[in-house]
Chains A and B, each alone.
Chain A
C-alpha cells in the first residue's frame, strides 16, 4: 500500500496542471450536487479534498483559489436554494468554521510540503559537493602518486643506468623530473589557493603591477612543463603596461590559465598570451590566454567554474583538481573583474579578463 501511495504521489507531483483540473472539477461536482439536490455535501467538508490536493501537489496559491471557488459555490447554494436565508446563514458559525478549517489545512500542508522540498534539495546539494570532493581527493592522491613514481623511477635510471641499446638520455630523465616537480607545484598551489580563498584569507593588496614582469614570471616557472609537452608559448605584452592588481593574485590567475592551456594542449600545439590596452581606450588592460587544445562545451564550462569538476576529456589528458578555474574566477571577481571564456570542443579555448590600467 505504501508503495502504491508513493507511486501515485509521484505521478501527481509530476502533473500539477492535472491536479489543479482535478481539484476544480471536484469543487464543481460537489457544488453542483449541492445546488441540484439541496443537500449540503459541502457542509460535511467534502471541499477539504480538492483544497488539500491543490495544497499538497501545487502550492498555497492554487489551494486558496480552489477554496475561494468552493466558497463561491457555497454562496450560490444559499442564494439559489434558500433565498432570503442569506443574512442569518452568513453568521452561521458552524459553516464559516468549516471553511476556515479547510483553509488552515491547506496552509499546513503547503508549508510542510515546502519544507520537505527544501530539505531534500539541501541534502542533494550537500551530497553532490561531498561526492565531488571525495572523488577529487582520490584523483589528487592518484596524481601525486604518479608524479612521485615518475620522479623516483627517473632517479633510479639516472643513478644506475641500464646497459641496453635504447639507453635513456639523462637530459630526458631530468626533464621528466623537472616537469613532474612543476606539476606537483601547480597542484599544491591550486589546492592551497582554494583553501585560502574558501577561508577568506586571501587579503588583496592592490598595487601597480607591471604586466610584462607578471607574465614573464609565470611563463618561466611553467617552462619545464611546456618543454616536456612540446607546447610553444608565444607572449606579446605591450611595453610599459601596468595594471592595478594584487601581485600574488595576478600570478595565480596567470599560472592557472597558462598552466591549463599547456596541460590541455596536445604536443606540438601553441599557447598565445596577450596583454595590452583594451580596445576603445577604456582605461583597462586586456589579458588573453589562447590555446589550440581540447576546448569544451557550454555545459562543461558552467560546471567547471563551480569548482571540483573536470571534463571527461580533461581527466584523460592531464592531472588536476578541477578547482583552478574556480579559484581564477573568484580572484578576478574580488578585483571587480571577471573571466570570459570562448571555447568549443576540439577547437581550443580562449580565456580573457580585464584589469584597470595604471599609468607609470
Chain B
C-alpha cells in the first residue's frame, strides 16, 4: 500500500516541488501552515510529515508540541535552516524522527523519507534477534 505523506511548508514553491518529487512513490497531501497541518493530521492520518520549522503563526515546533501525546502519531522529519541546530535538537526531543537542513537536494529528501519509513517498518532490534532463551521451553 502506498504510504501517505503530508508536506507542510509556508513557501509555496518549495511545497509544490516537494509534492511533485514525492508523488511518484507516495500519496502526498500538503499544508501551508501549522493549523492546516494539524487538521490534516487528525483527518487523514498520514504516515509521515515533512514539517518546516519556521512558519509564520503556528511554527513547526508548536505543531510538534500539539501532537506529541496524541496517537497515532505520524513519523516526522523537520526541515530547518542550517544555522538552527538548537532548534533541530529541540524538534528531536519533541518526538521528530529526523531533521534535514535547508538547503537540501531533491534526492536527499526522498532518500530520507524512504529511510525513516523503512526504519519504522522494521521491528525493534531486540525483538528480532531474540537474544534470550525461554527457560524451560524448547528442550534442547
Identify which of residues 163-183 in chain A touch chain B, using a CB-to-CB cut-off of 8 Å.
163-164, 166-168, 173, 176, 180
Of all chain A residues, which has the CB nearest B53?
Answer: A142
* Range, interface on chain B: 20 to 34
Which of the residues B54, B81, B84, B106 comes within 8 Å of A153, measured between beta carbons? B106
A-B contact count (CB 8 A): 70
The answer to whether B21 touches A153 (Cβ under 8 A) is: yes
Q: How far is the CA of A150 from the CA of B17 in the complex (A)?
A: 8
B23 in contact (CB, < 8 A): yes
Chain A interfacial residues counted at CB < 8 A? 27
Q: How far is the CA of A248 from the CA of B25 in the complex (A)?
A: 50
Which B residues touch A145, using CB under 8 A?
Answer: 81-82, 101-103
The answer to whether B56 touches A316 (Cβ under 8 A) is: yes
Which B residues touch A61, using CB under 8 A?
Answer: none
Which B residues touch A142, using CB under 8 A?
Answer: 54, 81
Q: Shortest Cβ distance from B54 into chain A, in angstroms?
A: 5
The answer to whether A162 touches B21 (Cβ under 8 A) is: yes
A148 in contact (CB, < 8 A): yes
Which of the residues B14, B105, B107 comes within 8 Å of A150, measured between beta carbons? B14
The answer to whether A154 touches B17 (Cβ under 8 A) is: yes
18 more A-B residue pairs beyond the given contacts A146-B11, A146-B102, A156-B107, with a C-beta to C-beta distance below 8 A: A141-B82, A145-B101, A148-B102, A150-B11, A152-B106, A153-B18, A156-B21, A156-B105, A157-B17, A157-B106, A160-B106, A162-B24, A164-B24, A168-B17, A168-B20, A176-B17, A180-B13, A316-B57
4 closest Cβ pairs, A-B complex:
A156-B106, A148-B103, A145-B102, A153-B17
Can you offer 10 A-B residue contacts whose CB atoms are under 8 A?
A145-B101, A148-B103, A150-B17, A153-B106, A157-B21, A162-B21, A162-B23, A164-B20, A168-B20, A316-B57
